[in-house]
Amino acid sequence: MAPRSIPLRPVPPDEFPIFHKHVCPPTFGGEAIDPVPPTRQIARNLLVNRDLELRDGTKVPMWLFEDPDDDTESGTTLPGKTVRTVEGDIVHARVGAKTNTHTIHWHGIEPTSMNDGVGKHSFEISGNFVYQFATNQAGTFLYHCHKNTGLHFEMGLYGAVIVDPKKPDIPEAHGVPDPPYPAGGPGFVRAFNPPSHVVRYDVEALWVPDDIDTRWHELGHNAFMQKCDPDNPIAAEDFTQDGFLNDFRPDVFGLSGEAKRVDDDSPFERAAVHAKVGQTVLIRFIDAAYNVNVIRVGLPLQLIAVDGYPRGVPPAGKYSRPINLPAGEPIRITAAMRGDALIRPTEPGRFPVAFDFFHWVTGKRLYTARTFIDVTAR
Amino acid sequence: MKRITRRGFIRYAALGVAVFVGGGVAGRYVAPLKMTTYGTRHRLAITEALAQMVDRRPVYHWAFEDLDSLEHLPQMPGPLIQAIEGDEVNFSVTNTLREAHGFRIPGVPGEVGAGIVIGPGETRTFEFAAPVGGSYMYLDHLNAPVNRVLGLHGPMIVLPKSGNTPYSEPTPTVQSLFDDLGTTDFFPGEPWRPERTRVWLFSSIDPRFNSMAERGESIDASRFREEFLPRYFTINGESGAYAAHNHHTVPSGRIGQPHLLRLMNAGMTADSPHIHGNHVYLVAWTDLAGNYRVEDNVRFVDTFTTDPGGRMDWLLPFRRPPDIPGDPNIPLRQLVRTELSLTLGGVGQSPLTYPMHGHNEISQSAAGGNYPQGMVTGWQITGDLDGVDFPPSNPKEQGGVNEETHGGH
């Protein structure tokens, strides 16, 4: 007997608009919808073409966000310039799509659908749009373009969103500027520490592992997209059949915006941490890689938060508690997971940090990115 | 045949979908998948099928068929099996294919947990007591992982005999989480109810290997692991828009109606499912040692890893999305009235919908591109905490046509 067919579910014509929008979102723009007066205003434009230069002189084309209010180098970086807000802020984010259409998804921040930056659930920006959201939870989040995301995220359209707690009125707060706290520290972070549930840190680091398949970086904005036919959005002939966005073979590996070829095992300098004995170091990590990542830190650490929410802090964190990890204990993460960790070095030395990249299908190790924590006497 | 007697069906003739609406003890069963089997006796066949992918290309599969279903069709994944802890579950599985196949439910004590081998043309009958409450996956364990990935897998849900959690042996923190639902300021609304459950069973398909099976060639498992290049990614057997707009996959409810999501990965890829709109509690999962267990230190996450063969239960609290600016005491139907009234691209912004997708974005592809026709679905909030649904959007279209996306390449 010949095998029987399991057909695709029939799509009634009144579902065609939603199937069509799934692939071809409409465009929209303008001021915030249902506006509330903002307490903080930021802006980002997409996108700027920049080459990432490797040690051997090879250039990898990247797409970056730019902050139109910052015309220095720090306005156009990889990862994108950090969006830094304060707990309780109402943010108006003016986003300009300068080439083609884009969105920004504020990953882990949870506003309405139109402010969530996913085209198929709302729209893609043509021109400008002002996203409106609150940042009610202090922690580490992420922003990225959510269009043809496999490609746009890979091309570098991602950055950190850091939401700071308000400065507590305690003696330890002397010498700490008002939030948003400066990149690199000092500042305060939400963590289990009753009754205030904030902890002062002296040094702050942002670790963002990434993996790059340079073949993908030659592709165009809409590479391998399905052709849109509003009258028949499921037509077989409109599907691209020649794409390779399912075939990810990274040959370059990155850490916090610095990148090396697979055969270059020199240490990553930009992610290196410099601290003194007795200081508190806050590590924020965001996984921008597609392969599985395992982080090993040569010092004991305390995992205080995952995906922006602090462990052990009620009400949301009531069902968890911080985890103390001995030196070298693996932390396994996959794409877009985040975490915050505290390290309190007790002796001087250079302590190794390794990021192992494991293939997303075979599980084989592809590369180890090495950096370090330098601790000097107080 | 012994069946649970109190049961009822609604049949949607157009879709061939059965939904269970029974009451009493049987009413604790849920029907999140397209097809489901009821009661405690299950007659399955291991057979072959040509499953249509999202781009309408047929791909050969090995598949389970529920011989008591009125559909008379193989299914991918296999039918949802539901039981209550301690139920005497009876299976009769017939292998209609040319080679031996297996049937195993990891986590079930006894021979079915170790794996049963069924020769070509053979029927094996076996019984077991439904294990402790939780999420399970039945699969063909032979030539692992080949036979599982080529289509021979399906979900099984076991509910506990008593209690207000999905587990027979909840940890103290999971117990307190479920106790708090609907009784604390952080979780206003209702407690979890077993029917507020969805299965999200992920798989990945490399048609080159399916073709080998179709031609009757043997597939070397180590070569399979080495060379597997997924071309299609599915949730409950569907990809892209199909999975994102299937109400058996998409949880739907008002604020304060928490749902349990039972994620299972029958495929070959490590992915990183990400949910928008709410964080979720990771209440049970297959840990790094390979044991599915109820968690004691319950993370509140928006993204977490699924490994091949792994299972993971998320509690989606259906909280009012916490970062909507404005007075939290004003119902959303008033606070974001303009948004809810809009129709963009022919689709209303009411109800509020949010995606869930693999953030290893490779899984958002189909046939090497065609974003987002891969492993994606979502959830929707239909109304406010006070039980009033959001008004429907104004049908008048707003927003421009995305000319630039049209034409693709």
Query: Which of B179, B202, B255, B371 is most worth mutating to test chain A (most A CB atoms within 10 A of its CB)?
Result: B371
CA proximity to A158, closest of A294, A295, A52, A257: A257
Would you call A37 an interface residue with chain B, using a CB distance cutoff of 8 Å? no
Which residue from B300, B332, B347 is facing A316, i.e. has the nearest CB?
Answer: B300
- Residue whose entry in the numeric block shows the structure tokens 């008379």: B72
Taking alpha carbons only, the member of A354, A365, A353 closest to residue A292 is A365
pLDDT band at A129 (very low <50, low <70, confident <90, very high): very high
Per residue in A29-66, pLDDT (tens digit) is 999 999 999 999 999 999 999 999 999 999 999 999 99
Q: What confidence score (pLDDT) does residue B5 get?
A: 28
Q: Which residue has the higher pLDDT, A221 or A181?
A: A181
Q: Answer whether B278's CB lies under 8 Å from B316's CB.
A: yes
Average pLDDT score over residue span A253-264:
97
Pairing relationship of beta strands B17-20 and B41-52 according to DSSP bridges: unpaired
Q: What is the pTM of this model?
A: 0.94
What is the band of A204 on the pLDDT scale with cuts at 50, 70, 90? very high
Q: What does the pLDDT read at residue B38?
A: 53
pLDDT the model gives residue A254: 97
The confidence band for A4, taking pLDDT boundaries of 50, 70 and 90, is: very high
**B60 close to A (CB below 8 A):** yes
Tens digit of each residue's pLDDT (9 = 90 or more) over B316-326 = 999 999 999 99
* Count of pairs with CB atoms under 8 A, one residue in A, one in B: 363
Strand partners for B136: B156
Contact indicator for B243, B376 with CB cutoff of 8 Å? yes
Instruction: Chunk chain B into consecutive blocks of 10 residues (it has 409) and report each block's average pLDDT, rounded to whole numbers.
Output: 29 29 35 53 96 97 92 91 93 97 97 98 97 98 98 97 97 98 98 96 98 97 98 98 96 98 98 98 95 98 97 98 97 98 97 98 97 98 98 90 51
Give the pLDDT confidence score for residue B109 in this predicted structure: 95
- pLDDT score at B400: 81
The pLDDT, as a whole number, for residue B12 is 26
Any chain A CB within 8 A of the CB of B234?
Answer: no
Closest Cα to residue A36, out of B276, B108, B325?
A: B325
**A279: confidence class by pLDDT, cuts 50, 70, 90:** very high
Q: What is the pLDDT of residues A148-196, one digit of tens each?
A: 999 999 999 999 999 999 999 999 999 999 999 999 999 999 999 999 9
CA B233 to chain centroid, in Å, comes to 13
Per-residue pLDDT, averaged over A351-362, amounts to 98
pLDDT at A2: 87
- Give the end-to-end CA distance of chain A in Å, rounded to a whole number: 79
Indicate which of A361, A362, A364, A365 best probes the interface with B, i.e. most B CBs within 10 Å of its own CB.
Answer: A361
Q: Residue B8: what pLDDT?
A: 27
Contacts of A320 in chain B (CB under 8 A): 173, 297-300
What pLDDT score was predicted for residue A258? 97
* Amino acid at position A213, single letter: D
How many residues belong to chain A? 378
A336 contact residues in B (CB cutoff 8 A):
272, 274, 303, 359
- Alpha carbon distance B246, B380 (integer Å): 12
Contacts of A100 in chain B (CB under 8 A): 404
**Interface touch A111/B229, C-beta < 8 Å:** no
Which amino acid does the sequence have at B41? Answer: R
Mean pLDDT confidence for A259-287: 98
pLDDT tens column, A312-331:
999 999 999 999 999 999 99
